[in-house]
Each structure stands twice: as structure tokens, then as C-alpha cells.
Amino acid sequence: GHFCACSPHHAQSQHLISRSVNVLPSFGFLFDIDGVLVRGKTPIPSAKTAFQKLVNSQGQFLVPVVFVTNAGNCLRQKKADQLSHLLGISQNQVMMSHSPLRMFKRYHEKCVLVSGQGPLLDIAQDLGFCQPITIETLREKHPLLDVVDHERRPNVLVSIYFSVVLFGEPVRWETNLQLIIDVLLTSGYPGNPYHHENYPHIPVLACNMDLMWVAEAQSPRFGHGTFMVCLENIYKKITGKDLKYEALMGKPSKVTYQYAEYLIRAQAAERRWKQPIQTLYAVGDNLMTDVYGANLYNRYLEENSRKAAAHCRSVLVCTGVYNPHTEVPLDTRESITEAVFHGHRDFRFDPGLVEPDHIVPDVDAAVDLVFQLENFAPN
């Protein structure tokens, strides 16, 4: 506002405001990407206005921000580039479903079988894996295993696999399902006979448990969670035992939010913001991943408040999967409980965990709400 700064009354009121308003952030944002900032390749209009509020005139963020996506079929940099129409984002602010694999160093040195699509070897090597081998390579080494294709001649090469990493849904499911089962039932020596006594099987790490996802089509499409349902059921049918995961990554898993919180703290430290980060605000469009995950992490934080943040708040937007007109009203818990649970086998359904702390129309409203809750007015 242009009003006379020399009047003593004005100077005094400014002083009073600056005492009660927070100029340094004690909170951070975790933004989902699809359904919040973009739909397919199209930016959501409110994202532009939201981001103007989050950066200063030099284009630096005023609060720590991490973009948390369950996508896993590309490198962080590619996802950062996809957001460049909004603002300049460094790849250190982008978290893919597979990002926490950086912390699983004990698997990095050994030979690991990777399943998915996209630049898998680049992704695996970027995460620290020294010897990733794709299903396609395994298939070439052991052509007798994938018998759909009769054209290949066998060559005898023995390699041992120490673990399996599921990055995302593959293209040829029957090949991937067959060969992953082979590796699990032979303790990492595919081509050998099955022996069931080796249980638990070699470690399986999986990224992105989404059963379905929304693209340009009218109804949701199969996600990696659907592929995992197939693998789990085939394994169970053959062995009578449950397929075990060494780790599940991507929302709503705890390890994803722990890693996101670590990235938020690293940003605050880099900017030399002394204020400790107390609250994470997770903004997303999906009750089963974004809201459930944030609420699950909040429960964990409240039970284990040592050095970590104190709270993780869920903010639901209506620009993506969640549609306020078709969803079950949030207060009728019974009807939710009877609804089909689309979460992963290893996550219990808990009606309390799918209730968002806040529902707003879009990401711009989410930023306004959080600034208001935090009484945040940056310089």
C-alpha cells in the first residue's frame, strides 16, 4: 500500500505486525504433481498463481518445497523439466517413488534384477545400483525361461541375483511375471529347478503401489499396484506362502515421507533458515495415497516426536482424482468402510486415515490456507 510511512502511528502498527507474523518458515510443502499441478501434460491454471506466492522476486523459494510423485519411469531431472513452465525447480526438490532407494545402500553393490519400463538402467545407476540387470537381458541369457518366443537359441551364462527391484508396471506382463517368479523360486539362480524350501525368498523392493492412475482416458488405468497384485497372487498360488517385500516405496509408505522430510530439512539448512521445521503440509488429490500417507506419517510423528517434525497435515484438492461430487461424503464412515479398499495388501484400511485435515478447491487455495494457518508473511 502507498501510504505515508512517516506517520508515527503507521510505524508503530508495522512494528506490532512484524512481531506476530512469521517471516521465516517453520513449515514445508510436499506437493503431489499429477492432479495438483498438471493433468497429463496440461498445467492446472491455479498452479501458476500458487507458485507466484511461493517465490521471491529473485525466483527463490520462500519456504522449503518438495514435489512428491508416485511416478517412477523417468529420472528426477525429467520430472523437474516438466514443471519448468511453472518455475525453475532443481532435481533435488523432486522425489520419485524410487528416490528412497538411494538409502538402501546394502543392495547397491550386488547384482539386482530390475522390472519396469523407461530408462531403467539409467534410473537404477543414478540411484546407486552398480549391477542392475533388466528382465530383457535375463530373457536373452535364459531364453528357455520365456517360452512365448521360440526364435532364440540358448546360451549358458550363470549369474546370481541378490534382489529384485520393481520400479513400475512393465510392458510385457507375462514375461516379467514368469521371470520374477523364476528368480524368486530359485533363490536368484534362474534356470535351476524350483525349490520351495527357500523361504523367505530373496529381497523384493517395490516402488509405487498405486492400483490405478488417471491419464487422459475417462476411467482409471492399471497402475503398478495391479501388476503387484498379479505377482503376489501367482506367488501365493504356486507356493502357498505370501510374497514378502523388503520395502514398499512411494506414497502412502512411511519411508517416502521420511525421505521427503529429510529433503525439506536439507533445503532449509541450505538457505540458512534457523527456524526448526515443525509442520509438513502434504497437498494432493488422492484419498488413498496423498491423504492416507500424510495421515499415517502424522500418526507416526505424534508417536515418535524426537528430532523429527511434529506434524504432517493433509490438504486435499479437487482438481484431480478426488471429485467432491462423486466421492462418498467424508462424515459417513460406514459407507467408506464398505467401499472397496484400493490400497496395497500390506496397508490396513482405516477410515480415520482417509479423512483430510483440509479440503480446498485447488493448489492456489491450498497455499493461501497454509500461509494463513502459519501466519506467514515473508519479507
Give mean pLDDT in consecutive 10-residue pieces for the chain, a chain of 379 residues.
42 46 94 90 90 92 96 90 83 95 96 96 97 94 72 56 96 96 94 85 95 74 94 97 96 96 96 94 94 96 80 95 65 47 87 94 98 91
pLDDT given for residue 143 in this prediction: 80
Residue 307 pLDDT: 62
Burial call 225-261: b when 16+ CB within 10 Å, e when fewer? bbbbeebbebbeeebeeebebebbbbbbbbbbbebbb
Among 117, 125, 61, smallest CA distance to 92 is for 61
Q: Is 267 exposed, middle or buried (0-12, 13-18, 19+ CB in 10 A)?
A: buried
Report how far Cα 336 is from the mean position of its chain's Cα atoms. Answer: 24
Strands 131-134, 111-115: pairing kind: parallel
pLDDT of residue 148: 58
| Pair type for strands 94-95 and 111-115 | unpaired
Cα dihedral across residues 340, 344, 348, 354: positive or negative: negative
How many whole angstroms separate alpha carbon 220 and alpha carbon 140? 34
In 3D, which of 204, 106, 205, 113 has the Cα closest to residue 159? 113
CA distance 293 to 256: 9
- 208 torsion bin: left (phi>0), alpha (psi -120 to 50), beta (else): left
Q: Cα-atom radius of gyration of the chain, to the nearest Å?
A: 24
Which secondary-structure segment (H or E) carries 270? Answer: helix 254-270
- At residue 85, the pLDDT reads 78
